[in-house]
Structure formats: C-alpha cells, structure tokens
Structure 1
Amino acid sequence: MKKLFFALFALTFLAIGNAQDGTPTDYLPKEFHKGRRDAFRSKMPQNSVAVVFANPIRNRANDVDYVFHQDPNFYYLTGYREPNAVLVIFSEDQTDANGNTYNEAIYVQERNPTAEMWNGKRLGKEGAKTQLGFVHAYNGADFLNSKIDFKKFDKVFIEKFKDDYRDLGGNADIFDLVKSFKKQSGYNPDSYLSRAKKYVYENVASTPIESSANVVQIINRVEGRFQDIKEDKLIKQYKEAKTDALRKEAKQKITLALKPQTNVDIDFLTGTLGGMREVKTAEELKLLTKAIRISAVGQIEVMKAMKPHMSETELQGIHEFVYKKYGAEYEGYPSIVGAGNNGCILHYIENNRTRVGHDLVLMDLGAEYRGYTADVTRTIPASGKFTKEQKAIYDIVYKAQEAGIKASVAGASFGAPGQAAREEINKGLLALGIIKSLDERHNYFPHGTSHYLGLDVHDPGTYQPLRANSVITVEPGIYIPDGSPCDKKWWGIAVRIEDDILITEKGPVNLSKEAPRTSSAIEKMMAQKSVLDEFVLPDLDKD
C-alpha cells in the first residue's frame, strides 16, 4: 500500500510540475512505453539484442533545420522526443561489471547549459529516469564507450539505415552513435539482399530445375521493375544457363547467398513493431481519436468559411489554425488543398491557386496530436452548392465509401473495403457513360482505399485480415483530369472522401463522422455563418 501511495504521489507531482510550467500533461504515460518494450522483448528470440536510433536532425537551408520529429518506433518504445539518442533492448538479463542486472538501456543527449539556452531544455539522463521511467539511462557518449559485444549475440536487430545523418560536429550526435554501432557490430550493408532480390532468390532455391521455366517468367516480370535484379550476376547466370547442369550450378550459388552473412538483422525489428503498432491500446485510441476529431472540426470550419474568392493557401491556413487552437503540435503530413483540376493530383501540396472560384475543392489534411495523426478528406463546392455534374460524381464516391466502411469488419481481408468501393465506383461511372463496361481498365480511381493510421499517417501493419482496435482509412475517389476520354462536362472534377475507421468486434466505427459527408449535409453546413466572416485583413497591395 505504501509503494502504491508513493507511486501515485510521484505521478501527481509530475503532472503538477508539467501543469505549472505550462506544458501538456496528456502525453502517453511512461508505463505505456515500458509496456511496449516488455511486449517487444517477449517476441525476441533468445540471445538477441535490438538497437533503435532516434531520428536525425535534418537541414532545411543554410543554418536552419527542420523542426525535429522523432522516429515513431523510437517514440513508441521510449516516449523520448529529442534527437541524438539510442535504445538498446536485450532478450535476457545482462550483468554489468558491478554485478548488476539489466535488460535495457537508453542513451540520451547530455545536459548542456549553452545548447539549452539556444534550443531549449534537454531531458538528460536523470530526466530519462524520472520522467520516462528508465532505470538505466546514460549520456550518449557512454554508448560510444559501452563496449557492448554485439558479435556475441545470435541476432542484432536494427532498422535499415537510411544514412542521412549529418555530422553536427559535437560529441555523441546521431552521426557518432550510428558510426560507433556499425564499428562495434561489424555492420556491412553489402550483406543484405533487397526485398525483390530475396524474393527471386527464394523462388530459385525452392523450385526444382525441371520447373525452372516458371522461375524465369518470374525473373522477367520482376527485372522490369528493379534494376538490381536485372544487373545481378547470379540471376543472369541462372536465367541464361543453356543446360540443366549450368542452371543447377547457378541455383547452388543463389541458395548459398540466401544464408545470412551477418548476425545483424534488418527485418525483424520493423516487422515486429509493425504488427504491434497495428493494434492500438486504449491510451493510443484516446489520442488518435482526439487528433481525428480536431481534423473533422477543421473541415467543418472551412465548410462554413469557404468563399469562391479564397485561395487554396488561405483554406489550408484555416484548417491548420484549428489544429493549433486545439494544441496539435504539427500537421501529420503536408496538407492537400486542391481546387478543380488540382484535385486530380493525388499528392498535390503546392496549394498555390489564388482563387478557387466555383470548382470543387478537395481537402486532405490531418492534425498530429501528441504523436498520433489523423487523415480526413472532404470535397466541397466552393460556391456552397454542387452543380449537377459535381453532385453526380460526389454521390458515387459517397456510395462507394459507405460500401467500403460496411466491409471494414474484424476478420475481413485488408482489401475488402477497397474491393467493395471499387465495385460501386465502376457501376456509377458506367451509369454516367464515363466508362463503357464494368471491367474496363481506367485511371479514374488509381489508388487503394485503405491504410493503417497511428503514429504515422501510413502506419505500419501486417496488411493481413483486419483486427479489432486497429484504425484504417476508407478513402475512395474519382478523378477526371482535363483531357480525359469522356464528355468534357466531367473534366476537372475530383472527389475524394476519407474517414478514419476503428475496427471493432461489433463493427466499424467512424471516428471522423462529425465532418459532414453527404452532399446535402455539406451544403447545409456551408450555409452556416462562419466566425471568420468578419475577419478581414488590410490589403497590402494598395498604395
């Protein structure tokens, strides 16, 4: 009972401290992150170690850097939001020189008064202990001298390095930490096969020589997309072999090349954390739901404020103002606001059209709140009323989305929502005469319908049958760019409707339902008065 009292006292003291200095108090608790480390450790094979690095600081221009954003996997496991750090997780207890046991350690930025004067307070190793709950927390420089014998482990799990680390010239920045790990572990990037090459090699190794013609067909199909397959000497030797004996010789070399050349593994960590992050805990769902609701409110406020004279940039600003008003730290991804034909560009982020006029405006945006990212899209008429053609296309997409959401049930294949939506879109396009048959190949709906949502806007996951407490998007669309092979009256119409769907055992739950979706509900919302109607700034172009 006494231990429980002191634990509650400590949590209360921390919350009071955060409240007094004005910082948010609703981040995930340290117990969440420890629980995720423990869960990951339980999945590790014996005699293994995982090494996870923080994101690097990335340069914007000259001496200005981009706002730092933590690597989602690192944040998921630690809660640490600063750069220049590394986490080490062991599958079993280790013993230090003093006989103490430990199974994890975090190495963080050292406290530095001068650096903190310019760039803000650092947590430091003591903060990592008190605020993040680590028993074994050290300065980054200690990792450089840790003398961890990575070669004694059967497996060393890391994420694939992107090698975009700048040397900031200090001691124990991320450049130094990664360089030290590579040296200590004997990391050799040439030891790894690309996913495509591994796929081809495995087909060669598992297929009898008498069926090699089937493998050659696979090679022909894959090498058109991947240059490393086309240039691989062993694959070329196998493919061009004139006799079974020569082909068998090439197969033996390929089979040998499949065997691991190092104990450093770049697949397990990413795959395992992807499976864990797919299914959200109650704490995660609370934050993710708030991010989604903030984004839905942003859509509502823009519906009320929308006027034909506005620019795409102005509309983007209203969305993002709402995010900041609710305390969201960032946008989850570059905001997309595309009027008319611009909406046909799937990842249009220029947002530089100066007047949206009377076109449809496709708005795909999401707030990031305490690390969790929404992804909500609405398409609305700038004039406040859909034209006949706009409404016809919009209502097809709405019907397709309804079918996709209905198919979003636990146990269904990940592709089920997309298949249901695509069927409705094809039926609708056929009825309008835009396509000539249900099986006609067209580019009016060129993307998938769903992806996972969480710490990343495209969160990792298994893409296996849908599981309860995962969150996916359902986002069908129709895009008819200028010059399309159909009646000109459809040109420049782009519609996407995207909602964030919680998978439950009782059926799908639309977390972004606050933002109107039907054409009639949108028009009704757009008829309402906006608090921004009287917000008029001076004209800076007048003399």
Structure 2
Amino acid sequence: MKKEFFISKREEIMKNIEDGSIVLLFAGRAPYKSADETYSFTPNRNFYYLTGIDRENMMLMMHKRAGKVFQTLFIEKNDPQMARWLGEKMSEEEAKEVSGIEDVRYIEDFQGAFGLLFSRFKYDNLYLDLERAEWDIPMTKSQEFAKVAKEKYPFINIKNIYHDICEMRTIKSEEEIENIREAIKITEEGIYKLMENMKPGMMEYEIEAYFDFVLTSHGVKDKAFKTIAASGKNAAILHYSDNNCQTKDGELMQFDLGAQYKYYNGDISRAIPLNGKFTERQKEIYNVVLKTNKEITAMTKPGITFEQLNIRAKELLAEGCVELGLIKDASELSKYYFHSIGHQLGMDTHDVGSHSELKPGMVLTNEPGLYIPEEGIGIRIEDDLLVTEDGCEVLTKNMIREIEEIEKYMAENNKYLK
C-alpha cells in the first residue's frame, strides 16, 4: 500500500492522544525454534498498520507536546559481514519511503532518545500495545518494556493503545479491500485446483498440496491459517488440521482455507464430494447449511449486530436439524452446531475490533455449519462479506456453492472422475 495510507492512520490515532503522551510500538522478532533456527517472522499487525514496515526488531515512537506530534522510526543498522549471510537491512531511505516517516534513526539510539524526552519535557503517559490473548503465554516485548519503564519512571501512566488501533482496523479502506479481494481470488483458484485433482483414496495432505502449489505460484509466503482438509468424520472436528488420513469413496471433503496477500487474508469453506457426487443424505444436510448461509447474507447490512446474525443462524439450523431427524428441540442444537456465525476478516483471519453493530467497510465471514460425527459428515459453507451502505457484497461470489454447480464442475474438470 502507499505510504499515504500509513501516514493517515498515524494521524488518526494521534488525534485522540492527549498532550504529554508517548506512543511506542514494536515490530517484534522471529521466535526462537531450536538450535540456530527461528520461526518465520511476521510483523506485529498494529505496528505494520501504522508503518508499512515488515522487518523485525524495529520501533515506532510518537509523542505529542503542545498539540504537535513528533514521529521517529528506529531501524537496525546494516552489518556488512552479517549481510553476506542474511541479506541487507532496510536502509534509512527505504524506511522513509515505505512509512512516510522522515526521522529515521538506529535502534541503538532509542534509549538515549527516549530518556531525553523525560529529562527535557513533561510526559505523563506511555501508550503501548499490551495485547494479551491468554493468561499463560510469554510476555511480549511491549509488556516487558512497560515493566521496565515503570521501574525507571515510576510517575508514568502506562496505557494500552491496542483496542484503539483495533477499532480503527475494523473499517477497511479501498486499498485494504483490494488486498482482501486478491487474497480471496488466490484462495478460490486454489480450491478449484483441489477440485480438479482430488479423488477417493488420496491422503488428505496430498489433496492439500494442490492448494499449496497455487499459493506458492502466486508468491504467497504465508497462509491465512492452517489449512483444514478434512475427510469424512474428521470434518466434524471444527479446527482439524492434521490432514493425514486416507480418504474414502462416498465421503465429503471439508475444506477451510485461505491465502494471505500483503498481510490481508481470505477465508473460504466448502464441502466437496470426493467422487464428484453428493449422496441424498449429504444433500439434505448441505441444503440446510446453504439455506442458512443465504439468509444470513441477505440479513447482513449496516445496523445489524453480530448477535442478531447468530440468533437467526441458530434458528435456521435448529429448524433444519429437526427436519433432518437429528434433534427434537432447538435446545439440542449445540450437539451439531457450536460456533458463532462468523468473525471479522482483515490482517488477522479472526480480525480484531468489537463484534457489535455492522458498519460500511467492515469485512466479515458467514460460515454456518453442521457437524455430525456419527454419520461421518461435517459441512461448513463460508463466504466473505463486505458491508456496504445498504447491504453487503459477497466477495467470494466466484467460488461455486450450489450442489448442481459443484457436481457439474467435478464432472467436467476432474480428470480422475471422467
């Protein structure tokens, strides 16, 4: 994306920051794996959202004094010897061009610059991204810094800027939506490649490999999440991702997968018969899920809440389960449906921000499902929706979902089933 996007986001976040405040964000580092190996690096999404920088061990410092905002980006200094092993570090010029920040310094200068602010001026607040998903996980760089900063400057008020940035991220710009569209386009191409090459008897991971090939051929370095390629009863496990079982004739393959493009994600689920034909029972269950998907799409518009969508989805699925003979009363639905109707989608697959009232510019998933382990069937149909001024746009409209369309495509394009 253009640097103007990141400039505007920094301006927006600093408007609501009071005078006498410092905002500090960290890019993060690749976690240690084993021996001299690390896991692949991915930038802290809030740092990236404000800078466009996807290199590790960098810092963004912004501070506000007398209504004026100052911005500094701290980067790693290039080491010619290490560059022969790992490549060149980002230059000052490149960092300025990507981020739109003119004051670029080296990371070793940070402590002096940070201390100077307190020795010369009156700063009362330090804003950090203090995201913490669970109690029992390692401390983040921001959380560690908060502890040290409080020890050195006991008068400082530590504040959490995480939720402020997250709320900004809920409404996508045109540039962000285009990135999501591209991620979805690649995801759709990958699913069609799976459909063209899958057949009974293959291992789940063999089928998954066709999706991986499409992503790699588009230069995709990371998936939106671990691919779910679940056959038969495995599809009744919501987040099954082992993908190591042999498929059987007559089974459905439940796919839940997504490509990541420029750190924006696609997320699509489809249930496909391995032999190209749905059984009558599979059709009955599939149509209940599809009916729910369609009605939730029709309901999606500004002013509707996630709660309203969830309530209606449960009503429809419960009605369907009664007709299917699975349950006798709606109160039993949780036996076969136990998740929400969807989530926001963006730089994180389960994207951040409050799940309340829908607004134009939000992107969310619509993913009803039924999971029936005793019948070896799990079906989820997931589409990605962009909330518009008066309704929604189905971003995944090019990914077929009708039973007749799926069977026709398999018959015409799967070389093993002809």
**What is the TM-score normalised by the length of structure 1?**
0.71
Amino acid at match of 1:447: H
Please tell me whether the aligned partners of residues 107 and 125 of structure 1 are also in contact (alpha carbons under 8 angstroms).
Answer: no
Please tell me whether the aligned partners of residues 123 and 156 of structure 2 are also in contact (alpha carbons under 8 angstroms).
Answer: no
Please tell me whether the aligned partners of residues 331 and 366 of structure 1 are also in contact (alpha carbons under 8 angstroms).
Answer: yes
Higher relative contact order (CA 8 A, sep 6+): 2
Please tell me whether the aligned partners of residues 90 and 103 of structure 1 are also in contact (alpha carbons under 8 angstroms).
Answer: yes
Amino acid at match of 1:124: S
1:64 to 11, 28, 37: 37
Deviations 1:30-69 (A, max 9, x none): 1111111111111222322211111221123322211111
1:85 matched to 2:50? The reply is no
How far apart are 1:418 and its partner, in Å?
2.1
> What is the rounded CA distance, in whole Å, between the counterparts of 1:312 and 1:460 in structure 2?
31
Distance 1:505 1:150, change over 3 A: farther
SS at match of 1:473: strand
> What is the rounded CA distance, in whole Å, between the counterparts of 2:145 and 2:258 in structure 1?
38
> What is the rounded CA distance, in whole Å, between the counterparts of 2:358 and 2:48 in structure 1?
25
1:467 matched to 2:359? The reply is yes
Amino acid at match of 2:127: F
Please tell me whether the aligned partners of residues 202 and 247 of structure 2 are also in contact (alpha carbons under 8 angstroms).
Answer: yes
Please tell me whether the aligned partners of residues 131 and 162 of structure 2 are also in contact (alpha carbons under 8 angstroms).
Answer: no
**Which residue number corresponds to residue 387 of structure 2?**
503
1:131 matched to 2:102? The reply is no
**Which residue number corresponds to residue 333 of structure 1?**
225
2:258 to 353, 366, 373: 366
1:263 matched to 2:170? The reply is no
Share of identical aligned residues, percent?
A: 31
2:151 to 186, 189, 206: 186
Deviations 1:289-317 (A, max 9, x none): 11011111211221222211221111211
> What is the rounded CA distance, in whole Å, between the counterparts of 1:102 and 1:159 in structure 2?
19
Within 5 Å, which residues of 2 pair with 1:405-484? 405-482=297-374
Distance 1:423 1:282, change over 3 A: same
1:512 matched to 2:404? The reply is no
Please tell me whether the aligned partners of residues 232 and 253 of structure 2 are also in contact (alpha carbons under 8 angstroms).
Answer: yes
How far apart are 1:330 and its partner, in Å?
1.3
Residue correspondences, number: 410
**Quick check: which one's strand share is greater?**
2
Amino acid at match of 2:159: D
Amino acid at match of 1:504: T
Please tell me whether the aligned partners of residues 199 and 416 of structure 2 are also in contact (alpha carbons under 8 angstroms).
Answer: no
Greater Rg over alpha carbons, structure? 1
Deviations 1:318-361 (A, max 9, x none): 11211222232210111111111111111111111133443111
How far apart are 1:279 and its partner, in Å?
0.2
**Which residue number corresponds to residue 227 of structure 1?**
none
Deviations 1:426-456 (A, max 9, x none): 1110011110023335321100011110000
Please tell me whether the aligned partners of residues 291 and 374 of structure 1 are also in contact (alpha carbons under 8 angstroms).
Answer: yes
**Which residue number corresponds to residue 485 of structure 1?**
none
Distance 1:160 1:178, change over 3 A: closer
Amino acid at match of 1:53: F
> What is the rounded CA distance, in whole Å, between the counterparts of 1:93 and 1:126 in structure 2?
29
Distance 1:79 1:302, change over 3 A: same
How far apart are 1:386 and its partner, in Å?
0.5
**Which residue number corresponds to residue 79 of structure 2?**
112
SS at match of 1:91: strand
Q: Which deviates more, 435-444 or 306-315?
A: 435-444
Amino acid at match of 1:264: I
**Which residue number corresponds to residue 9 of structure 1?**
none
Distance 1:272 1:187, change over 3 A: farther
Please tell me whether the aligned partners of residues 471 and 502 of structure 1 are also in contact (alpha carbons under 8 angstroms).
Answer: yes
1:301 to 179, 186, 193: 193
Amino acid at match of 2:165: L
> What is the rounded CA distance, in whole Å, between the counterparts of 2:357 and 2:144 in structure 1?
40
Structure 2: runs of 5 or more not aligned: none
Please tell me whether the aligned partners of residues 297 and 514 of structure 1 are also in contact (alpha carbons under 8 angstroms).
Answer: no
1:351 matched to 2:351? The reply is no
Please tell me whether the aligned partners of residues 499 and 510 of structure 1 are also in contact (alpha carbons under 8 angstroms).
Answer: yes
1:55 to 24, 28, 51: 28
> What is the rounded CA distance, in whole Å, between the counterparts of 2:331 and 2:234 in structure 1?
27
Please tell me whether the aligned partners of residues 323 and 367 of structure 1 are also in contact (alpha carbons under 8 angstroms).
Answer: yes
Amino acid at match of 1:298: G
SS at match of 2:412: coil
**What is the TM-score normalised by the length of structure 2?**
0.92
> Cα RMSD over matched residues?
2.5
Deviations 1:88-110 (A, max 9, x none): 1223469xxxxxx8611111111
Deviations 1:136-159 (A, max 9, x none): 111111112221546943321112
SS at match of 1:272: helix
Please tell me whether the aligned partners of residues 308 and 355 of structure 1 are also in contact (alpha carbons under 8 angstroms).
Answer: yes
Please tell me whether the aligned partners of residues 500 and 510 of structure 1 are also in contact (alpha carbons under 8 angstroms).
Answer: yes
